[in-house]
Amino acid sequence: MTATTGAAVRALRLADTAEAADLAAFLGRLIRYDRAAAVRLQAGGGAVAVFGRPPAFEVLAIRTARLRDVGAGSVAGPGSVAGPGSVEVPVELDVTVSAGELLEAIDELTGGFGLPAAVTGPPWTGVLPPRGGWQQVPGLPGPDGLRQAVAAAVTEFRTRDEALPAAHRDRAERDRIGREIWSRTVGATGLPLRAVHAAQSVGFLRPMPEDAPVALLRAGAWMRLRTPYGSIAVRTGGAGGIGGLSVTPT
C-alpha cells in the first residue's frame, strides 16, 4: 500500500503525549516478535489507526489514537486539522511503513512524528476488516476472565509439553498441541482463544479501570475484540471484508 492523501502529508501529531507513548509501546511489542514488521497506517476523521500482525497469532492488532494537527507542504482545505506552525490540510492518509522506523520517528515529548518512507507491505496489509456493519456479540467474559483463560491455556500447554515422551518432543508435536489449544473458542462466542492471547501479548489486556468497556463485535466473517487500549481482529472463515477499518478511537 502507498500513501493516498489529499495533500502531501509529512508529519502527524497525536492529541496528547500519553497516546504517543501508548503507540510507541504497541510498536515496540510488534518489533519484539518481528524486527522487520510492517504496519499499515490510516488517518481520517481526526484519528489515526495503526494495523499490525503479530506472527503466529493469525490476527490483526489495531491501535487507534486521536490527532491534534498535521504538518504538510500544501494549502488549507476543508475538514482539516490545524496546529501551531502547521499548514492546514485535510488529514486523509493510507500508507504501509516499517514499524521500526515509525517507532524511531515518534517523539513522546511532543506527540508528533514524521512519516517514514512507504514500503511494499506483506499480503495481510491488503485485507483489512470492514469499515462498518459491526454488531456486538454477547457472552464475552470480563478482562479478568479473559486473562484467566489465557493463563489456563498456557499452563495446559506447558503441562502437555512436559508430558511428551522425549522422542515426540519436537516442533511438529508442539505446534499440534498449540493449534488445538489456541483454536478453542471463548465460551459460545466463536472468538478463537488465540485472539485473546494476542490481545494480552500486545498489551491490550493490561490492568484497566473497572468500568472500562471491553466488547466483542462481529461483521461478516470478522470478529473484533475491543478494549480501551486497542483491538484484535480475526477472520473466522468465509468471505471477509476488504478495506479499511474505521479509525474512530476505541
Cβ(122)–Cβ(54) below 8 Å: no
Which tops the pLDDT comparison, 6 or 161? 161
Q: Residue 8: what pLDDT?
A: 61
Average pLDDT over residues 37-66: 94
Local confidence band at 68 (pLDDT 50, 70, 90 cut-offs): confident
- In degrees, to the nearest 5, what angle opens at C-alpha 102 toward C-alphas 22 and 15? 45
Report percent pLDDT > 90 for the chain: 69
Average model confidence (pLDDT) for the chain? 84
Q: Give the residue-averaged pLDDT of 52-72.
A: 84
pLDDT surpasses 70 at 236: yes
Rg (CA), the chain: 19
At 90 the pLDDT is 47
Q: Which of 82-86, 152-156, 168-172 has the highest mean pLDDT?
A: 152-156
Count the helices and strands in the chain (H runs, E runs): 5, 13
Among residues 67, 105, 68, 74, which one has the least CA distance to residue 8?
74
Give the H or E element holding residue 51: strand 47-52
Given a cut of 70, is residue 52 above it in pLDDT?
yes
HSE-up of residue 76 (Cα within 13 Å, Cβ side): 6
Give residue 1's pLDDT. 44
Residue type, 242: I
The cell 494549502 sits on which residue? 75
Fold of 9-126: DNA Polymerase III; Chain A, domain 2 (3.10.150)
* Residue boundaries of the structural domains of the chain: 9-126, 135-235
Q: What is the mean pLDDT of residues 152-174?
A: 92
Mean pLDDT across 29-47: 93
The pLDDT confidence band at residue 237, using thresholds 50, 70 and 90, is: low
| pLDDT of 238 | 47
pLDDT value at residue 212 = 77
The tens digit of pLDDT for each residue in 77-98 reads: 333 333 333 333 445 889 999 9
Taken as a whole, the chain contains a residue count of 250
> Quick one: which H or E segment has residue 62?
strand 60-72
pLDDT of residue 82: 32
Of 192, 59, 188, 69, nearest to 127 by C-alpha is 59
Q: Residue 115 phi/psi, 5° resolution?
A: -85, 125
Tens-place pLDDT, residues 10-28: 889 999 999 999 999 999 9
pLDDT of residue 91: 56
**pLDDT (mean) for 153-167:** 93
